[in-house]
Amino acid sequence: MNGQPTSTDVVAWALALGATAAGVVLAIRQVPAVQRWMFARKKPWACDICMGFWSTGFAACVLAVSRFDPSLLLVAGPAYPVTLWLLRKLQEPTRPPRLPPLEPHA
């Protein structure tokens, strides 16, 4: 890109960056030490907002440096909600457990 990114560039990079950051968060959380911190509810490891923020920011920095275009740092803003949305969708159960039927009280 030369100069300021176009709106199409921002949308495309935001989607790609958001998906990458969400994948990085899920991959990091598979490391046994990180899983222990997660189950102990230690921040930032157990917090989707924190992990999404830091991974999106880091991925935006890597993107800007690798493409030699500092204006790509602007993509981190719109990529962050994409990251949070993907994290929520990838972690919620696809089939919630069935609840037993309600029985009337006597």
What are the residue boundaries of the structural domains of the chain, listed by start? 9-89
Question: What would the two tokens of residue 82 be?
Answer: 């994409």
The pTM score is 0.79
What pLDDT score does 98 carry?
81
| DSSP per position, 7-75 | HHHHHHHHHHHHHHHHHHHHHHTTSHHHHHHHHTT-TTTT-HHHHHHHHHHHHHHHHHHHTT-GGGGGG
C-alpha pair distances (Å), 21 with each of 58, 96, 103:
8, 26, 46
pLDDT (tens digit per residue) in 17-61: 999 999 999 999 999 999 999 889 888 888 999 999 999 999 999
Those residues with Cβ within 8 angstroms of residue 74's Cβ, 6 or more apart along the chain or in another chain: 5, 10
Cα–Cα distance, 94 to 47 (Å, whole number): 21
